[in-house]
A and B are shown apart, each in its own frame.
Chain A
Amino acid sequence: MGLESIYTQILTEHNNSNRNKHHIDSPTAVLKGVNPSCGDEIELELREKDGMIEDAAFTGIGCAISQASASIMIDLIKGKTKEEALRLANLFFGMIKNEVKDEAELEDLDEAVALKDISHMPARVKCAVLGWHTLEDAINGEQKPE
């Protein structure tokens, strides 16, 4: 597996910029996501209004793949409805599990398509999906123990 298709410019830019890594004002949902195999954890904050995700950001620590993936996700879900965000999350899981390969279908994932080749790196799949699983749980209102 070539590193070129993993550590792409999109990934390193998101990882290095910290643009979406901060707290937001008056979040309506705050949820922690943990990758127990490495101890990495992120905290996702969402502010919902009338079923729309008005603002979102995350904090925490993790590898370049988990951080960039979460950042790309934030860009993607801001301004979308909860249902649309969940659909995108499922599409992302489909891509990472190599179940959805059709490029036209994946177009809605925009920059997240840059993470497509992680489907060939089984050891890093958990890193890529950390933010997205946290989003899924946050929208579905699941509470995770501290």
Chain B
Amino acid sequence: MNPYLNDFPVLGEKRDGKRLVYLDNAATTQKPLSVIQAVDEYYRRSNANPHRGLYELSIRATKMYEDARESVRAFINAGKACEVLFTRNASESLNLVAYSYGMNFIHEGDEIALPVSEHHSNLLPWQMVAKAKGAKLVYLYPDSCGRLPERELNKIGPKTALVAVAHVSNVLGTVYPVQEIVRRAHAVGAVVVLDCAQSIPHYPVDVKKLDVDFAAFSGHKMLAPMGIGVLYGKEELLNQMPPFLTGGEMIEYVSEQNATFAPLPQKFEAGTQNVGGAVGLSAAIDYMKKVGYDTIIKTEEDLLAYALDGMAKIPHVTVYGDTKAGEQRCGVISFNVDGVHPHDVSSILDSDGVAIRAGHHCAQPLMKYLGVNATCRASLYFYNTREDIDVFLASLKKVRGWLGLGT
């Protein structure tokens, strides 16, 4: 029995007599009761517009919001709380960097290097910058195990101005060598934008140790509510960048024709912020610390090895990327069943209560590179169990039968 299962109300529910086997954690995770209650408590007892009111309730809301920022700072080991900006999600964080840094500090002829496996959220903002500024997108192509070979890393060169990279691929589960990429990028004067949406729920992210210039993630993929995300940025870079969104809360002084802006972090937080979400994120961090990354990693490694073993024994199933569990492999399994479209696989698994993702996973250039139109994706979290994997494997075995194909 997984000791955390009871903390997650939705995982205990039965639908049509079937228990939910939730294997779509790379899309979003379920929420523990402590997070749900923290948000509920905030709105019941402490809700007011932060940074504005001079009354007790607003001061309390402000404190909870800023405490959440400090909690994130400590969690990712950022130097200062003002280097932690709250956004809606990783996509908004990455767009902030693209619009505010990219559009001002990337120039004609510059190169932006990125793995072809990037999620559209860390690809389209750079496509936009490249088109607008006359810069060139240079793609790094993973090998059949999903890793970036030396010759691809060598594409980070003198013309590179920015490297955009995911810590963990949301399709292949590969853990990319961020420290090596940062070393090469900084050696040529390029900045590194890290998308850690898929890593921070599973692996510790230490921005100081990794020495990345920017790091983005979403709260909802790490137990927190949807609608709260984070952008970490080095203070000296954030100070040089103009605001992304303008409006309330982010100003110092405004006249008819001109304005000066508030210092960090308010400069990048226009309008009333998602305080309830920040409080939920802080509660999620508390919960993750209680479980501990050691337990999370150990549990997921065991489940991943168990799932990959089981899948290898089912005929007509192809797993993409590394087919063995290991340190450079996270619990995201993309696969296909011969002759069956991922949509059909997902619908068939759903009838057994198994939730997986099917489609292009917001990574169409990678799908094209892999030579597939779409894949199925099962993704794990520490609240999953071997029983979950057993139900998943049993259902997977039946898929081809439903389509009138041999098993």
Contacts and interface: CB of A to CB of B under 8 A. Distances in A.
B403 A38 contact: no
Contact of A16 (B347, B402, B405): B405
A12 interface: yes
Interface string A45-62: 000000000000000011
Contact of A40 (B348, B374, B402): B374
A3 B347 contact: yes
Contact of B404 (A1, A12, A39): A12
Contact of B367 (A2, A12, A16, A39): A39
A91 B343 CA distance: 25
Interface string A90-131: 000000000000000000000000000000010110010000
A121 B360 CA distance: 20
B165 interface: no
A15 interface: yes
A12 B343 contact: no
Interface residues of A, number: 25
B344 interface: yes
B351 A9 contact: no
B343 A127 contact: yes
Contacts of A143: none
A62 B347 contact: no
B343 A16 contact: no
Contacts of B348: 3, 7
Contacts of B373: 39-40, 61
Given A3-B402, A16-B405, A38 B358 contact: yes
B364 interface: yes
B342 interface: yes
A127 B342 CA distance: 12
B187 interface: no
B145 interface: no
A113 B342 CA distance: 24
A13 B404 contact: yes
Nearest to B368: A39
Nearest to B358: A38
Contacts of A124: 343, 347
Interface in A35-92: 37-40, 61-67
A30 interface: no
B403 A15 contact: yes
A6 interface: yes
A9 B401 CA distance: 12
Contacts of B133: none
Nearest to B364: A39
A62 B364 CA distance: 15
A15 B364 CA distance: 25
Contacts of B364: 39
Contact of B340 (A2, A64, A123): A64
B342 A7 contact: no
A63 B342 contact: yes
A64 B359 contact: no
Interface string B4-39: 000000000000000000000000000000000000
Given A12-B404, A15-B403, A39-B367, A63 B360 contact: no
A112 B340 CA distance: 21
Given A6-B347, A12-B404, A64 B341 contact: yes
Nearest to B405: A16
Nearest to A41: B373
A3 B404 CA distance: 13
B360 A7 contact: no
Interface string B203-239: 0000000000000000000000000000000000000
Given A12-B404, A38-B359, A63 B344 contact: yes
A7 B403 contact: yes
Contacts of B344: 7, 63-65
Interface string B386-406: 000000000000000011110
Nearest to A9: B404
A40 B403 CA distance: 19
A21 to B, nearest CB: 14
Interface string B352-381: 000000111000100100000110000000
A37 B359 contact: yes
Contacts of B340: 64
Given A39-B373, A40-B343, 12 more contacts: A1-B351, A13-B404, A15-B403, A16-B404, A38-B360, A39-B374, A40-B373, A40-B374, A63-B344, A64-B343, A67-B341, A124-B343
25 contacts: A7-B402, A7-B403, A7-B404, A9-B404, A12-B402, A12-B403, A12-B404, A16-B405, A38-B374, A39-B374, A40-B341, A40-B343, A40-B373, A40-B374, A61-B373, A62-B341, A63-B343, A64-B340, A64-B341, A64-B343, A65-B343, A65-B344, A66-B343, A124-B343, A124-B347
Task: List 5 A-B pairs, minimum CB-CB distance, nearest first.
Answer: A63-B341, A12-B404, A63-B343, A38-B359, A39-B360
